[in-house]
Structure 1
Amino acid sequence: MAQTSTPEEPARPAPDPRRRSERARKAILAAAGELLGEVGYARLTMEAIAARARVGKQTIYRWWPTKAAVVFDVFTELTGGTAGEPLPDTGDLDADLRTVLHAIVDEYADPLMDRVNRAFIAEMQTDPELARSVADRLLLPNVRAFQDRLLAAREAGQLDAGTDPALAVDLLLAPVQQRWLMRSGELTHPYVDALVDTVLRALGPRG
């Protein structure tokens, strides 16, 4: 009897390690963000992150040497950018500030971002080393980005020549941060718009 040949099954493509690694990275960051909001920074452990993300602890250490490094990247992932990224400069200072502050308000309104931020800020009050790291790697670069944009506006004649960019940044950011931190009022786009209007009227060119 003649043997019939069976068609060979097409070879399955090999798993893409880059795709698998990206899935693991995102799972780790998501797990760290959830746990930070649940247990706080002090009680957060690499073991707990690995268990929540369903990866081996060595997988986490492949990318991050410490839990602080993981949490820094949680912030970056949540905000969708990098610390110190230049502010938009369309030539319209009012519109550029509204765009950035609207985005900040939207981040604060996100439940996960809110939990992560509050847990991190609470831990910074008792951990000076962590506070310095956050300031150096996150807060100060972002403040400098605001200062650079306001300095460019001053040089373009859109702000009074005597405007101090550092003080101007405080006028813009402090009310937003206080409203969020103290839950002292609604933090909305209309509030931000009114804040930008007030600050720019106060700092506008004189004469």
Structure 2
Amino acid sequence: MTMQIEFVYFDLGNVLVSFDPEIACRNFAELAGVSADRAREVIYESGLQDRYESGEITSRSFTQTLREVLQLDADRLPQDQVLDAISDMFTPIDSMVPVVEFARRSAGRVGVLSNTCPAHWRWVRKQPWPVSQIDYDVRILSCEVMSMKPDGKIYEAAEKAARVRPDRILFIDDKPENVEAAAQRGWRAEQCLGGEQAKAVIEGFLGGK
């Protein structure tokens, strides 16, 4: 059934682009001269990546912490190379480009609502993929609003930026807890991956062929 939707938010990871943290770990391990297990431990299992994505620390602090933990200097771990290493793990879901375009035509405005860090966002946006060139009306990134889904603060920021009633927002995300948090605020929200799943959801809410 066609719903009265005036704004559509898309998650980034696994909706607009797919990603594999194990690739990031291997990239960083090669750069730092450590094992992939050690890389995973210091980046992900330590909570460092979450602190980076939540805006608690900057790119500089993120890199410096890795140097201190691994006892390596800036010559061994240049910041730009560190940030590229942890970011070069994404693959475009270019079939989402017409989905986003259809959502914009049907609803009026679209945005991205993502738990991500500055390095990942910049890396994705500088790629020559069609999906990386989408011009969003609004972007809500956890690192910028200092709140990560499913925390309420990030949804509040998204509502203010959308400037429509919560029940006029449609949100597509791959994680059930993020979808549930949005639904509790009165949003229309669906869990799915990018590609055909997202296309079917968007058309179900907005109509289309």
Give the TM-score, by structure 2 length: 0.36
Give the TM-score, by structure 1 length: 0.36
- Highest CA radius of gyration, 1 or 2? 1
Q: Which has the higher strand share?
A: 2
Q: Which has the higher helix share?
A: 1
Larger relative contact order (Cα-Cα within 8 Å, sequence gap ≥ 6): 2
